[in-house]
A = this chain, B = another copy of it.
Protein backbone atom coordinates (compact mmCIF):
# COMPACT_ATOMS: atom_id res chain seq x y z
CA UNK A 1 0.00 0.00 0.00
CA UNK A 2 0.98 3.63 -0.54
CA UNK A 3 0.74 5.91 2.46
CA UNK A 4 1.00 9.65 2.91
CA UNK A 5 1.98 10.91 6.37
CA UNK A 6 2.08 14.57 7.35
CA UNK A 7 4.08 15.48 10.46
CA UNK A 8 5.56 18.39 12.36
CA UNK A 9 4.23 21.91 12.07
CA UNK A 10 3.63 24.40 9.30
CA UNK A 11 5.34 27.78 9.54
CA UNK A 12 3.59 30.91 8.31
CA UNK A 13 5.88 33.77 7.26
CA UNK A 14 5.43 37.20 8.88
CA UNK A 15 8.31 38.74 6.96
CA UNK A 16 11.72 37.72 5.60
CA UNK A 17 12.96 36.31 8.90
CA UNK A 18 9.99 36.04 11.28
CA UNK A 19 7.31 33.41 11.20
CA UNK A 20 4.49 31.90 13.19
CA UNK A 21 5.09 28.29 14.08
CA UNK A 22 3.71 25.84 16.59
CA UNK A 23 5.19 23.62 19.23
CA UNK A 24 4.82 20.43 17.21
CA UNK A 25 8.11 18.53 17.05
CA UNK A 26 6.92 15.90 14.60
CA UNK A 27 7.90 13.09 16.95
CA UNK A 28 4.46 11.42 16.84
CA UNK A 29 4.50 11.44 13.02
CA UNK A 30 8.00 9.99 13.07
CA UNK A 31 6.86 7.21 15.42
CA UNK A 32 3.96 6.44 13.06
CA UNK A 33 6.28 6.31 10.04
CA UNK A 34 8.61 3.97 11.89
CA UNK A 35 5.73 1.77 13.07
CA UNK A 36 4.70 1.19 9.44
CA UNK A 37 8.29 0.54 8.36
CA UNK A 38 9.15 -1.79 11.22
CA UNK A 39 5.96 -3.73 11.89
CA UNK A 40 4.19 -3.69 8.53
CA UNK A 41 7.03 -3.40 6.04
CA UNK A 42 5.75 -6.34 3.96
CA UNK A 43 2.61 -4.42 2.91
CA UNK A 44 4.21 -0.97 2.40
CA UNK A 45 5.11 0.04 -1.13
CA UNK A 46 5.85 3.71 -0.54
CA UNK A 47 5.46 6.41 2.14
CA UNK A 48 5.21 10.06 1.17
CA UNK A 49 6.34 11.94 4.26
CA UNK A 50 5.34 15.63 4.27
CA UNK A 51 7.16 17.24 7.18
CA UNK A 52 7.59 20.66 8.77
CA UNK A 53 10.87 22.48 8.23
CA UNK A 54 12.47 21.34 11.47
CA UNK A 55 10.78 17.95 11.85
CA UNK A 56 12.78 14.77 11.38
CA UNK A 57 11.65 12.12 8.87
CA UNK A 58 12.37 8.39 8.61
CA UNK A 59 15.42 7.82 6.42
CA UNK A 60 14.42 4.74 4.44
CA UNK A 61 14.34 3.64 0.80
CA UNK A 62 10.54 3.38 1.01
CA UNK A 63 10.15 6.98 2.24
CA UNK A 64 9.92 10.07 0.02
CA UNK A 65 10.36 13.11 2.28
CA UNK A 66 8.76 16.42 1.21
CA UNK A 67 9.63 19.56 3.18
CA UNK A 68 6.65 21.83 3.89
CA UNK A 69 6.66 25.55 4.71
CA UNK A 70 3.28 27.22 5.11
CA UNK A 71 -0.25 25.83 4.88
CA UNK A 72 -0.64 26.79 1.20
CA UNK A 73 2.55 24.83 0.50
CA UNK A 74 1.08 21.77 2.26
CA UNK A 75 -2.18 22.09 0.34
CA UNK A 76 -0.35 22.26 -2.96
CA UNK A 77 1.89 19.25 -2.28
CA UNK A 78 -1.02 17.18 -0.94
CA UNK A 79 -3.12 17.93 -4.04
CA UNK A 80 -0.20 17.21 -6.35
CA UNK A 81 0.41 13.75 -4.84
CA UNK A 82 -3.25 12.72 -4.47
CA UNK A 83 -3.99 13.74 -8.04
CA UNK A 84 -1.02 11.92 -9.54
CA UNK A 85 -1.32 8.49 -7.91
CA UNK A 86 -3.55 6.29 -5.81
CA UNK A 87 -2.77 6.75 -2.11
CA UNK A 88 -4.32 4.07 0.13
CA UNK A 89 -4.16 5.98 3.39
CA UNK A 90 -3.39 9.48 4.64
CA UNK A 91 -2.24 9.96 8.26
CA UNK A 92 -2.60 13.68 8.72
CA UNK A 93 -0.63 14.27 11.93
CA UNK A 94 0.77 17.66 10.95
CA UNK A 95 -0.09 20.59 13.17
CA UNK A 96 -1.45 22.84 10.44
CA UNK A 97 -1.69 26.49 11.33
CA UNK A 98 -5.29 27.65 11.66
CA UNK A 99 -4.15 31.13 10.68
CA UNK A 100 -1.83 32.74 8.20
CA UNK A 101 -0.68 36.33 8.02
CA UNK A 102 -3.07 38.65 6.25
CA UNK A 103 -1.31 41.94 6.96
CA UNK A 104 1.39 43.36 9.21
CA UNK A 105 0.57 46.91 10.23
CA UNK A 106 0.52 49.24 13.22
CA UNK A 107 -2.24 49.74 15.75
CA UNK A 108 -2.37 53.41 14.77
CA UNK A 109 -2.87 52.64 11.05
CA UNK A 110 -5.52 50.06 11.93
CA UNK A 111 -7.46 52.40 14.21
CA UNK A 112 -7.24 55.24 11.66
CA UNK A 113 -8.33 52.99 8.79
CA UNK A 114 -5.02 53.62 7.02
CA UNK A 115 -3.02 51.19 4.90
CA UNK A 116 -0.09 49.29 6.40
CA UNK A 117 3.14 51.33 6.36
CA UNK A 118 5.13 48.15 5.61
CA UNK A 119 6.10 46.53 2.33
CA UNK A 120 5.67 42.77 2.49
CA UNK A 121 8.55 40.34 1.89
CA UNK A 122 11.21 42.43 3.58
CA UNK A 123 12.36 42.41 7.19
CA UNK A 124 10.20 44.74 9.27
CA UNK A 125 12.07 47.33 11.31
CA UNK A 126 12.76 46.41 14.90
CA UNK A 127 11.68 49.83 16.18
CA UNK A 128 7.90 49.86 15.79
CA UNK A 129 6.10 50.51 19.05
CA UNK A 130 2.65 49.31 18.05
CA UNK A 131 3.20 46.50 15.59
CA UNK A 132 0.12 44.43 14.86
CA UNK A 133 -0.21 41.20 12.91
CA UNK A 134 -3.65 40.63 11.35
CA UNK A 135 -4.36 36.99 10.64
CA UNK A 136 -6.75 35.22 8.32
CA UNK A 137 -7.94 31.63 8.50
CA UNK A 138 -6.11 29.04 6.42
CA UNK A 139 -7.98 26.66 4.11
CA UNK A 140 -8.73 23.31 5.75
CA UNK A 141 -6.25 20.95 4.07
CA UNK A 142 -7.86 17.86 5.61
CA UNK A 143 -11.11 18.81 3.92
CA UNK A 144 -9.65 18.40 0.42
CA UNK A 145 -8.31 14.85 0.87
CA UNK A 146 -11.52 12.87 0.35
CA UNK A 147 -12.72 15.34 -2.25
CA UNK A 148 -9.73 14.50 -4.45
CA UNK A 149 -9.45 10.84 -3.49
CA UNK A 150 -12.68 9.39 -2.01
CA UNK A 151 -11.27 5.86 -1.57
CA UNK A 152 -8.24 6.93 0.48
CA UNK A 153 -8.58 6.01 4.15
CA UNK A 154 -7.99 9.01 6.33
CA UNK A 155 -6.74 9.44 9.91
CA UNK A 156 -7.41 12.92 11.24
CA UNK A 157 -5.84 14.38 14.39
CA UNK A 158 -7.26 16.72 16.97
CA UNK A 159 -5.19 18.28 19.73
CA UNK A 160 -6.99 20.31 22.37
CA UNK A 161 -5.76 21.83 25.60
CA UNK A 162 -7.20 21.01 29.04
CA UNK A 163 -10.76 20.15 28.05
CA UNK A 164 -12.97 17.48 29.66
CA UNK A 165 -12.67 14.05 28.02
CA UNK A 166 -16.25 14.13 26.74
CA UNK A 167 -15.61 17.43 24.96
CA UNK A 168 -12.39 16.10 23.41
CA UNK A 169 -14.23 13.09 22.00
CA UNK A 170 -17.13 15.23 20.82
CA UNK A 171 -14.78 17.56 18.95
CA UNK A 172 -12.95 14.55 17.48
CA UNK A 173 -16.30 13.19 16.25
CA UNK A 174 -16.91 16.58 14.63
CA UNK A 175 -13.55 16.34 12.80
CA UNK A 176 -14.51 12.84 11.63
CA UNK A 177 -17.90 13.95 10.33
CA UNK A 178 -16.66 17.14 8.67
CA UNK A 179 -13.81 15.46 6.79
CA UNK A 180 -15.07 11.93 6.24
CA UNK A 181 -12.25 10.37 8.29
CA UNK A 182 -12.05 6.63 9.00
CA UNK A 183 -10.27 7.38 12.30
CA UNK A 184 -9.51 10.44 14.40
CA UNK A 185 -6.71 10.52 16.95
CA UNK A 186 -7.83 12.76 19.81
CA UNK A 187 -5.33 14.06 22.33
CA UNK A 188 -5.04 16.78 24.95
CA UNK A 189 -1.92 18.79 25.80
CA UNK A 190 -2.60 18.26 29.51
CA UNK A 191 -2.15 14.50 28.99
CA UNK A 192 1.16 14.79 27.12
CA UNK A 193 4.63 15.06 28.64
CA UNK A 194 7.40 13.20 30.48
CA UNK A 195 7.31 10.22 28.13
CA UNK A 196 3.54 9.95 28.44
CA UNK A 197 1.22 10.69 25.53
CA UNK A 198 -2.38 9.72 26.04
CA UNK A 199 -4.27 9.19 22.79
CA UNK A 200 -7.76 8.08 21.82
CA UNK A 201 -8.22 6.62 18.33
CA UNK A 202 -11.87 7.17 17.49
CA UNK A 203 -13.54 4.72 15.09
CA UNK A 204 -16.54 5.38 12.87
CA UNK A 205 -18.83 3.38 15.15
CA UNK A 206 -18.02 5.72 18.03
CA UNK A 207 -15.78 3.26 19.88
CA UNK A 208 -12.16 4.17 20.51
CA UNK A 209 -8.78 2.66 21.35
CA UNK A 210 -6.93 4.20 24.29
CA UNK A 211 -3.14 4.45 24.24
CA UNK A 212 -0.62 5.74 26.79
CA UNK A 213 2.52 6.59 24.76
CA UNK A 214 3.51 7.89 21.31
CA UNK A 215 4.79 4.40 20.53
CA UNK A 216 1.45 2.82 21.39
CA UNK A 217 -0.42 5.46 19.36
CA UNK A 218 1.87 4.89 16.38
CA UNK A 219 1.51 1.12 16.51
CA UNK A 220 -2.27 1.29 16.87
CA UNK A 221 -2.65 3.60 13.85
CA UNK A 222 -0.37 1.41 11.72
CA UNK A 223 -2.30 -1.70 12.86
CA UNK A 224 -5.75 -0.24 12.18
CA UNK A 225 -4.78 0.91 8.69
CA UNK A 226 -3.18 -2.39 7.68
CA UNK A 227 -5.63 -4.88 9.20
Contacts and interface: CB of A to CB of B under 8 A. Distances in A.
Given A17-B95, A99-B131, A131-B135, A161 B122 contact: yes
Nearest to A159: B17
Contact of A21 (B21, B134, B161): B21
Contact of A18 (B22, B122, B127, B134): B22
A224 interface: no
A126 interface: yes
Query: How often does this chain occur in the complex, in copies?
Result: 2
Interface residues of A, number: 38
Interface in A1-26: 11, 14, 16-24
Interface in A104-129: 107, 110-111, 122-123, 126-129
A44 interface: no
A81 interface: no
A130 B132 CA distance: 12
Contact of A129 (B24, B107, B137): B137
Nearest to A55: B54
A39 interface: no
A148 interface: no
A43 interface: no
A107 B134 contact: yes
A98 interface: yes
Q: Which of A17, A127, A131, A136 has most B Cβ within 10 Å?
A: A17
Interface in A69-103: 95, 97-99
Nearest to A98: B126
Contact of A133 (B132, B136, B161): B132
Given A18-B20, A110-B132, 6 more contacts: A17-B159, A19-B21, A98-B126, A123-B189, A131-B135, A132-B134
10 smallest CB-CB distances across A and B, nearest first, come from A98-B126, A123-B161, A133-B133, A131-B135, A16-B161, A54-B54, A17-B22, A21-B21, A17-B23, A18-B22
